């Protein structure tokens, strides 16, 4: 039990690290007395707050070009403009850049000069959501930790794009035009520290191949995925959060073990074509199966067998960990089988 609690706490800590590191860094404050008047030059198109001298705010100004960036800048905000290109020259002196937000512009792959991004040796966060990209830009700086490319037109990932991005922890490719042949067996090679991969709202029919071993959060909602290969999860032994809502999964398309994977804590399979509740692990805590075609719950199949549980006396502590179960939108009629409550004694909510 102690080991399980430690694992869950570790997962939550890592998740918080992925999502909140950027927030902590944004509010880093530098002493304005450290900067000379010359250092504090500011492009006339932008705003440079004296209390935050390492930030440059150029958002919502109708800009068509990136202005010259002062060398002191760490955080660059250029979102919601009309920018079409990323040339090398404006940032050639901005060697300290950690964060660039270029969301909601008109940037194309042809508009990104080859060394414009890779020359930013300290860049950690790159936001290029809501642009006109048709492939993942390359080359990228090796220092990068988060790459946000949601809501573009990405359908291609050039070979070797991720091969040197061993520091990347989050890759967001949701709401693009990715299909199965966009991936090669080595597409994700090099992403040794990737923890979150989001490819929701694409046009995938199969699970992406050879994912990084450290992947903990995998989001594949709103695709057309029909099946999951046998032993697929052996390659990603740390996956804890798995979302496959709004796909075309059927009973026949699942592995023989179903989702009996000890690392998975949160499993979302809403809006698919399942007629049975799949096998699950004793460690699973949240299960979403709403809006499938399930007619009944066979507790003898889904209840983890005693051999899967620690041999301890307190079944409330060491029994199955399922706390939340959603089954509404199926063909199941109340009442809830008593055997379900007997097996999953930690259940706090069952929605039918």
Judge contact between 154 and 107, C-beta under 8 A.
no
Between strands 266-268 and 286-288, the pairing is: parallel
Whether the predicted pLDDT of 8 surpasses 60: no
**Confidence bin at 19 (pLDDT 50/70/90):** very low
Q: Where are the alpha helices (DSSP H) in 27-153?
A: none
**Confidence bin at 162 (pLDDT 50/70/90):** very high
Strands (E), 160-306: 170-172, 196-198, 217-219, 241-243, 266-268, 286-288
Residue 163's pLDDT is: 95
Question: What does the pLDDT look like over 89-131, one tens digit per residue?
Answer: 998 999 999 999 999 999 999 999 999 999 999 999 999 999 9
d(C-alpha 337, C-alpha 314), whole Å:
23
Q: Is 55 helix (H, G, I), strand (E, B) or coil?
A: strand
- Residue 18, φ and ψ in degrees, nearest 5: -60, -45
Q: Secondary structure of the chain: what % helix, strand, coil (to 5)?
A: 15, 15, 70
H or E segment and range at residue 169: none
**Confidence bin at 308 (pLDDT 50/70/90):** low
Question: What does the pLDDT look like over 58-89, one tens digit per residue?
Answer: 999 999 999 999 999 999 999 999 999 999 99
Complete domains list, the chain, with CATH: 41-132 (3.80.10.10)
Residue 301's pLDDT is: 85
Tokens representing 200 are 């929701």
Residue 319's pLDDT is: 81
H or E segment and range at residue 23: helix 2-26
DSSP string, 203-233: --SSPPSS--TT--EEE--SS------TTGG
Higher-pLDDT residue of 306 and 118 is 118
- Residue 60: other Cβ atoms inside 10 A: 12
d(C-alpha 69, C-alpha 91), whole Å:
6
d(C-alpha 70, C-alpha 158), whole Å:
32
d(C-alpha 270, C-alpha 327), whole Å:
9
Judge contact between 253 and 269, C-beta under 8 A.
no
Judge contact between 152 and 176, C-beta under 8 A.
yes
Which of 53-57, 296-300, 314-318 is the most confident on average? 53-57
Q: What is the mean pLDDT of the chain?
A: 89
d(C-alpha 259, C-alpha 66), whole Å:
48
**Confidence bin at 31 (pLDDT 50/70/90):** very low
Question: What does the pLDDT look like over 187-229, one tens digit per residue?
Answer: 999 999 999 999 999 999 999 999 999 999 999 999 999 999 9
Which letter, b or e, does each residue of 81-119 get, where b requires 16 or more Cβ atoms within 10 Å of its Cβ?
bebbbbeeebbeebebbbbbbbbbbebbbebbeeebbbb
Question: What does the pLDDT look like over 49-64, one tens digit per residue?
Answer: 999 999 999 999 999 9
Residue 14's pLDDT is: 53
Tokens representing 324 are 């939340």
Over residues 134-159, mean pLDDT: 97
pTM comes to: 0.88
């Amino acid at each position: 039990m102690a080991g399980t609690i430690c694992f869950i706490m570790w997962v939550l800590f890592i998740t918080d690290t992925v999502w909140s590191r950027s927030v902590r860094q944004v509010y880093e404050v530098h002493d304005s007395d450290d900067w000379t008047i010359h250092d504090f030059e500011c492009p006339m198109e932008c705003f440079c707050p004296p209390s935050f001298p390492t930030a440059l705010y150029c958002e919502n100004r109708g800009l068509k070009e990136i202005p010259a960036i002062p060398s002191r800048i760490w955080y660059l905000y250029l979102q919601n403009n009309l920018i079409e290109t990323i040339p090398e020259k404006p940032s050639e002196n901005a060697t300290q850049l950690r964060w660039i937000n270029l969301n909601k512009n008109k940037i194309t792959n042809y508009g990104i000069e080859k060394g414009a991004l890779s020359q930013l040796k300290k860049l950690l966060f790159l936001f290029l959501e809501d642009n006109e990209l048709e492939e993942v830009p390359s080359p990228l700086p090796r220092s990068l930790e988060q790459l946000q490319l949601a809501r573009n037109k990405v359908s291609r990932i050039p070979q070797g794009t991720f091969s040197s991005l061993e520091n990347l922890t989050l890759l967001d490719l949701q709401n693009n035009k990715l299909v199965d042949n966009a991936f090669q067996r080595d597409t994700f090679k090099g992403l040794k520290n990737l923890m979150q991969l989001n490819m929701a709202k694409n046009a995938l029919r199969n699970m992406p191949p050879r994912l990084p071993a450290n992947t903990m959060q995998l989001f594949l909602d709103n695709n057309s995925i029909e099946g999951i290969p046998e032993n697929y999860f052996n390659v990603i032994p740390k996956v804890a959060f798995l979302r496959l809502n709004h796909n075309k999964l059927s009973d026949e398309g699942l592995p023989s073990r179903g989702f009996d994977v000890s690392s998975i804590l949160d499993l979302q399979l809403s809006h698919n074509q399942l007629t049975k509740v799949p096998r699950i692990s004793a460690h699973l805590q949240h299960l979403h199966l709403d809006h499938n075609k399930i007619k009944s719950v066979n507790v003898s199949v889904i209840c983890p067998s005693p051999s899967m549980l620690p041999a301890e006396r307190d079944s409330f502590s060491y029994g199955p960990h399922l706390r939340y179960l959603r089954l509404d939108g199926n063909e199941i009629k109340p009442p809830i089988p008593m055997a379900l409550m007997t097996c999953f004694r930690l259940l706090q909510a069952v929605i039918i």
